Amino acid sequence: MLTAYFDESGTHAGSPVLTVAGYVATVEQWDTFDRAWAQLLKDEQLPAMHWTDLESRKAAFEGWTKERKLAVQKRAIAIICETVERGFATGVVLADYLALIGGLPETIRENALAFAVVDNLKMATKWATLNCPDEPMNYVFESGGGYGGELSGPMSMLSKKERWEQLRMTSPKSLSFCAKKTRRPLQAADVLAYEAYKHVLNQKAGGVRRGIRLSLEALLVTEHDNHYYNGKNLRWLMEGLREEGLL
């Protein structure tokens, strides 16, 4: 059995981009992750790991020194890289998405968050089919994310057996929403979603480009699949849909 955990970043008002990202691993690998992560939280007397708060040293991390922050980041990233199988991330430039996808017919059009979620599901399914063809999949999303009712389309899709079987699920209940605090693998997804978001902002969405963040570079020791959708890539996607007769 494989389980993929996903989280989002950039759904707050005014964000120019959003990302959905996460990791897949076996049940046994997630058990190993959970024990190591729980020990990290215990050692640092933390209720949970929230990467944006750690990065800014706010909330539970208020008063921390930079050295302590970096040490915990290094330990957390090592746990992730030592236990997960693969990472996935989708970044979407919101203005481009709204300009190009917003005017499509209702049968094609989805909001950008649902679009990124489905993109991650497809990447994870493709990887599992190639690498673990006999293993069914569970998908878990963070229940406190900025999803709201925006995933009604993907969720209704799973009411059809052929759809959830395509995602290697044994039933619609194989996709669920859980709290990040109680389902610790979601905190690993939070790390990647934040790092992917910062990378898209720094590298892809215009302005002054910066070098890759050291924390993201460390995460990339684990293999990842990623898709980035700006105007150019979205137009390429639409051309492909037209060739397939879907537009």
Residues 6+ apart with CB under 8 A from 214: none
Whether residue 98 has pLDDT greater than 90: no
At residue 14, the pLDDT reads 85
Kindly indicate the confidence band of residue 109, based on its pLDDT and cuts at 50, 70 and 90: very low
Whether residue 49 has pLDDT greater than 90: yes
Please, is 244 exposed, middle or buried when counting C-beta atoms within 10 Å of its C-beta (0-12, 13-18, 19+)? exposed
d(CA 107, CA 146): 23
Whether residue 107 has pLDDT greater than 50: no
d(CA 184, CA 126): 25
Three-state DSSP class for 24?
Answer: strand
Range of the domain at 124: 2-243
At residue 106, the pLDDT reads 47
Model pLDDT for residues 180-232, shown as the tens digit of each residue: 999 999 999 999 999 999 999 887 766 666 778 999 999 999 999 999 998 88
At residue 34, the pLDDT reads 97
User: What's the structural domain count of the chain?
Assistant: 1
Write the CATH number for 156: 3.30.420
CA atoms within 13 A on the CB side of 121: 25
- At 90, which helix (H) or strand (E)? strand 86-93
> What is this structure's pTM?
0.90
Please, which residues bridge with residue 138 across strands?
A: 3
DSSP state of 2: E
